[in-house]
Copies of this chain bind each other. A is one copy, B any other.
Amino acid sequence: MLAEQRRHQIMLELQRTGQARTTQLAENFGVSEVTIRSDLEILDAKKLLIKTHGGAIALPASSPAAAFEERMNRNFDAKRRIAQMAARQIIDNQSIVFDSGSTLLQVAMQMPPVNNVVVATTAMNIAQHLMYRPGLDVHMIGGRVFPSTVSTIVSDSDKAVGGLVAHQAFLSAHAIDHAFDVVDVSEDIARTKRNLVRMARRVILVADSSKWDIGASSKAFSLSRVDLIITDTAMPHGIRSRLDKLGVEVRYV
C-alpha cells in the first residue's frame, strides 16, 4: 500500500469515529508506530486533523457555515484588498445598502468607525457583524431566506425598509459575462440584486478577477448601471482594455 493511500484511509477512519490511536493504526496497516506518527504529523500540518498524544482527533465538524468560510478564503488576498478600497467609500451621515457575499462581508468587517450611518442588507452574517458597532443603524431586509448565501431574497424593493433611498449600494457578482452583464445562478437572486441597485443613487460593484468573462443563467443588471467597479488586476486578457472603454470608473487594487 502506498503511503498516500494509507493517509487517506486514516482520514476515513477519523471521519467515521472522530478519533484514531497510533497503536491501533500501526497494527491495522502493518507498519511501525513511527510511520503512523509521521503520517499524522503530515496530516496535521495540512490542517486535516489534530495530532494529540496517543493519536489524533478530527477537526471540529464542518457545518454549512464552514462551507461559507471556505469560500471566504478563496482568493482571500484579492478580496481583502478590494474590500479595503470599498470600505473607504463609506462616510458619515450616509445610508448604505449591502448585498450578500463573502467579499461584502469583508467590506463590512473592514468598515472604518463612522457616525450616523444607516446600513440595510439582505445578508444575515453582515447584519450580525455590524449590529454591535456604534454609530450604525442596521436594518435587515426581509424576505425568503436563501441558505447558500445566508441571505434573503427581495421580491419588492418598494416595501423593503419602507422605500429607503440609499446614498450607495454595494453589490457583489456571482459572475460577469461577455456582454458585461452581472449574472447569477437563479432569477430569484438576480431580481434581488436588481432591486438593491434600484434602492441607491450610487452603485459600487466589488468583483475579484475570478468573476470575469463567465456566464450564468439569469441577468441581474448591466455594468453600465454601475458607478464604480472595484476589482483586482489579475483578470483575463482583453477584459481590461474593453473595461476601460466602457466609461465606468474602475479601480484596480
Residues of chain A whose beta carbon lies under 8 Å from any beta carbon of chain B: 1-5, 8, 18-19, 21, 50, 52-55, 57, 64, 124, 127-128, 131-132, 137-147, 150, 152, 155-156, 159-162
CA distance A21 to B2 in the complex (A): 8
Contact A140 B138 (CB under 8 A): no
**A188 → chain B closest CB, angstroms:** 13
CA distance A19 to B54 in the complex (A): 28
Contact B139 A160 (CB under 8 A): no
**A29 → chain B closest CB, angstroms:** 14
Residues of chain B within 8 A (CB-CB) of A138 are 144-145
Contact A128 B124 (CB under 8 A): yes
Q: Residue on B with the closest CB to A21?
A: B2
Beyond A8-B57, A139-B144, 9 additional contacts (C-beta under 8 Å) are A2-B52, A2-B53, A124-B128, A124-B140, A131-B145, A132-B147, A140-B144, A140-B145, A142-B152
Contact A140 B137 (CB under 8 A): no
Residues of chain B within 8 A (CB-CB) of A3 are 52-54
9 CB < 8 A contacts A-B: A2-B53, A4-B52, A4-B57, A131-B145, A140-B140, A142-B160, A155-B162, A156-B162, A159-B162
